Structures are given as structure tokens and as C-alpha cells.
Amino acid sequence: MRRLAVAIGLGAVLAIAAAWTVVAVLAERDRAGAVAALQQENGNLALALEEHTARTLRSIDQVLQFARFEYLDHDGKIDLDEMAAAGLIDHGIVNVVLVADATGRIVATSRAVEGSSIAERELFSAHRDGGEDRLIVSRSSVGKLTGKPSMPLSRRISRPDGSFAGVAMASLNPDYFASYYRKVDLGAHGIVTLVGADGFARARRASGVSSSDEDMGGSTLLKAQRGAPTGNLLSTGRLDGVRRYMSYRTVADYGLVVAIGRSADEALAPVFERRRDSFAIAAAITLIVAAFAVVLIAGLARRERTRREAQRNEARFRATFDQARVGMAHVDLAGRFVKVNDALCAIAGHPRGELLGQHFAEFKFPEDRAAGERERERLLADGESRDFEVRYRHRGGGALWLAASVSLVRDPDGRPDYFVALIQDVTAARDAQERIRHQATHDLLTDLPNRALFLDRLGHAIRAARRRDGRAALLFLDLDRFKQVNDTLGHAAGDALLREVAQRLAGAVRASDTAARVGGDEFAVVLSELAAASDATLVAGKILRAMAPPMYFDGRELAITLSIGIAVFPVDGGDADALVRSADEAMFEAKHAGRNTFRVHSAAAPATLTQAA
């Protein structure tokens, strides 16, 4: 009996010890699993916020670079109000966009501001003295110019010779990020922050309160980020003392870090509740010596609660995925769509059933497929996020330009699992940019290259000729007695005559040459890859013959004649300015010789050589 009692007691002790051991191990696994799931969810949200932040900054940077281009292209004259009216400046995101000259004086704004100079601003000194062409994201503050919360973004304006010409600046409203962050449910004590490498927060929302410009220089977040650009950590907030599980990502090229955090107490409350249940079960096992049955019941209960929590997390993620305003997709490692949201279906014009299971290359033009496959292989090789614009086929058959941001997602063991793609339709913006670029380099009346593009093409032709030790030529053309047409028939007839001249001129030269309108009634032709200097006179003769047939305007016949001056590189000048001067002088010789002819200024041909129309 005693032995049986000892055996029962020993068995009870062993059973109780086994029960408590099992409970402790399962509780730790439960906690670790909850933490892993939390960090995964935080990481997905941090990735989405990083992409949103980077896209916002890129869009504003494009506005600044366009403003800089316009400022330089128009010799300091720029109308930002016109850009705002055209929709290039979104005042829902920025308070104001302005341009200051090399002295700091404000020369253009998209809205009225208080003050006339930014010379005393640290960002102005940084651009003036630094010389780097980069976007600077300064500390948030109440703007001296607008009187509103402001996160200044700025770029240096440099002249072609590299000298400092001024600063283009946008005042981003930090509340724009705060309003976006409010959409993310992180619990009562969650935190979303955008902090600069200088240690100061640009936008922050903690425990439901939005703020900016807090000093976070000694935070564990920035210490961790200096060691790795992305990661997870458990930290205690210096400002509110709340312990949080944090996930952060570095916003590349902008010196910013976006971080998502949930209160450890809130996030692990279900785990603590399950742990108390487990200890109660272990106590019951100790009292009633029913270790195995109770452990089984407790294990089943814990698994069920874990499953329900996973379902809730999946539902929250699916709601975020499906309701996102940008296109989102999960793509397997082979390149097939496994999950798409409604926004992507609307962009592509394909219902969900036509996308799922299909390889992304099936929706691209055949000539673009190889490049897309190379991007996929690079993502698999280096694992870094990539941003690019890609052309896709819309279901209706047209071309669709998409801005895609693709990241590789890894499983808990670090192995590649699938791709996440964020997609926006930028077809309209791309078309608008193409129209703006074309208008900036072409004459509005004739659609020929303007003086700026002409000088660029002339420079290219000279450099190409210099590399191959060859020749290039410049033909300078001036309409004979064009003022008489304007004076007698009016400017409408003059414009019609200029368009006809442009059309005939473009048809008389090779596609590899450049015909341009460089002034009111002045045209120019850049001839590249000449076999001999005499080829330029052949082209001049062809142009004169092309102008010989009369044109008609409003029932009246108009005769078109030109005086042409020819200069050949390198004998008439070693650079663009010298060739222009030589061609202009030769053109005036043709005028004095009676018009409707050409003259060659080159030492490669007799100065008296002429060709009548």
C-alpha cells in the first residue's frame, strides 16, 4: 500500500511537473507566435506607408524639378499660378510652391505668402553652399511664409555652368500625412511616425494625437535604423512611456524613416488572457490529478482562439487590400497573379477572373516582355523594392502606362515567398509631360524644333563630327521680303506662308537632319554626317527648288523665295556660336547678291559659289 501511495504520489508529482512544463512551453510559443504575427502585420503596414510617403515626395519633387526647368528655360520668368491652374500643383497636399533667386528673393509663388525672401533659411544656405542636386526634406514647423504647419521640400536651381541660380521650394502640410495615418487602426496607444535622419519627427500620430517636430534623436528606433534600413524592435516611448512593438522602413533617397507601433499591452492582451487560462488549468490539474485530459482541452481551446485571431487579422488585411484606392496584387515567384484588388481590375479593365492565375507578361506588349522578366529576376536576386513605369495592354487594346512599386515578401524563415505590387495609372500624367516637353522644344506655329532644340542638335552634330573627324554643316535661311506679305495681306497670310515654308523645308531634308524655326522669318537646317562639304550646296539647291512652286492664300498667289547662308564645320568654326555667325554672314551675302540664292562661307568651297532658284 505504501509503495502504491509512493507510486501514486510520485506519479502525481511527475504528472503535475509535466503539466506545468507543458503549460509554460505552450504559453511561450503562443506569445512568440502572436509577436511574429504582429510584426508581420506591422511590417506590411510599414511597407504600404513607406510606398505612400515615397510616392508623395516623388510627386512633389517632380513639381519642383519642372518649376526649376521652367525657371531656367524662361530666364527667371515663371508663372506658378498657371501650373496650379493646370493641376500640376495640388494645394491639398502642399501649402505653397515658390521659387527664389540666387539672393533668396522670392520671384514666384503658387499662393500669396508673408515675406519676400528665404535667404535666412537653413535650406537656402544648404543649397547655395552645397552644390548637390538633391531633394532636401527639412524639419517641420509653423511656416514663416504661410503661417501654417509646414514640412519644407526644396531643390537647388543651377545654371548650365553649374553656378547657383536659386531654390525651388514646396511647403508640404504635415497634416496630410497625419490624415492618412488616421486611417490605420493601431489601437488606443498605437503610433505612426515619419522621422528624419536628423532625429526630428516630420509627422507623428501617437495615442490618437497628431504632432510634428519632436526631438527623437536618442530614440531606440533611430539607433536600430542606423544598423539596418528595415526591421522590428520592442521599445519604450521616451515621450509617453508606452512599450510598443515597432516595425520600421527607411524611405530610400529622402533620409526619412517610417515606423508603425502597437502597444505591447494591447497587442498581447489575448496572449496574457490565454496564459492565465493555462495556469488555471494547470492548477486544476494539480488539484484533481487529471493532467492529460485537461491539457488536451486547454490545448484545443488555445488553438481555437489562435485560429479566430488569425481569421480576424486576415479579415482586417483583406479589407485594407480590397478597399485600397491604388491597385494592389500578390504575384507568385513565377510571375502569376494570385491575388488582385478591385482597384487593379478597374485600372487594367480586366475582371478578376481574367487576371488570377495568368502570368503578368500576358498583359504586356510582346516587345516589353523581356524587360519585365529581367526585373522579376533582379527582384529575386537582390530582394530590394523596385519602382518603375511599365507599359501594359488595356483590355480595350490600348496602351496603359502604370507606375509600379514591387517588393519581395519573405516567409518567416527568410525564403522568398511572393511579390507585392502597388500600381497606379499614370497614363494621363505621362501624356501631359510628353506634351509639355514637346511644347518646350518646338515652335507653336510650325511645329518645327525651336531655337533651343536647334542649338542642342547643332551641338550634337558638331560633337559627332569631331569624334569621327568628319564634317557637319549649318544652313541659315531667311524669307525674302516677308514683311511685305504681313503688311499687305495681314498676319494670317504671313502665318500660313511660314507654315507652308516649314512643311516644304522639312520635306527637303533627311530625317537625320534638323530643320528648325529660329526667329520670326528665319529658319535653320543642321546637316550631320556629310560625306563632303559640297553636299551642303546640294541640299541648299534642293531647298530652293522646293520653294519655287507658288502657294495660294485666300485666292491669291504668293511666291516664296529664300536667301541661304552656308557654314561648314570645322573650317568655318569649331563651335556652335562660330558656325551661326558664319552662316548668318553668308546669308547676308546671298541677300546682297539679289536673293533667292545661297552663299557658302566655307573655305571648303569658293566664296562666290551661287545657285539660283
Residues marked as catalytic = 521
Is the CB of residue 72 less than 8 Å from the CB of residue 159? yes
Is the CB of residue 580 less than 8 Å from the CB of residue 612? no
Q: Can you list the alpha helix ranges (DSSP code H) found in 256-401? A: 264-267, 269-288, 291-323, 342-348, 352-355, 369-382
Would you tell me how many other CB atoms lie within 10 Å of the CB of residue 348?
A: 22
Query: End-to-end distance of the chain based on CA atoms, in angstroms?
Result: 135
Residue 428 has what DSSP assignment? H
Angle (CA) 138-141-147 rounded to 5° is: 120
Total residues belonging to the chain: 613
The string over 228-259, giving b where at least 16 C-beta atoms fall within 10 Å of a residue's C-beta and e elsewhere, is: eebbbbebebeeeebebbbbbbbbeebebbbb
Phi/psi at 457 (5° precision): -65, -35
Nearest to 427 by CA among 385, 386, 394: 394
574 SS3 class: coil
Phi/psi at 601 (5° precision): -90, 0
Judging by DSSP bridges, how do beta strands 149-158 and 136-137 pair with one another? antiparallel
CA–CA distances in Å: residue 514 to residues 87, 477, 507, 523: 33, 13, 11, 10
The cell numbers describing 274, all together, are: 490565454
The string over 73-104, giving b where at least 16 C-beta atoms fall within 10 Å of a residue's C-beta and e elsewhere, is: eeeeebebeebbeeebbeeeebbbbbbbbbeb
Is the CB of residue 380 less than 8 Å from the CB of residue 408? yes
Q: Which helix (H) or strand (E) holds 315?
A: helix 291-323
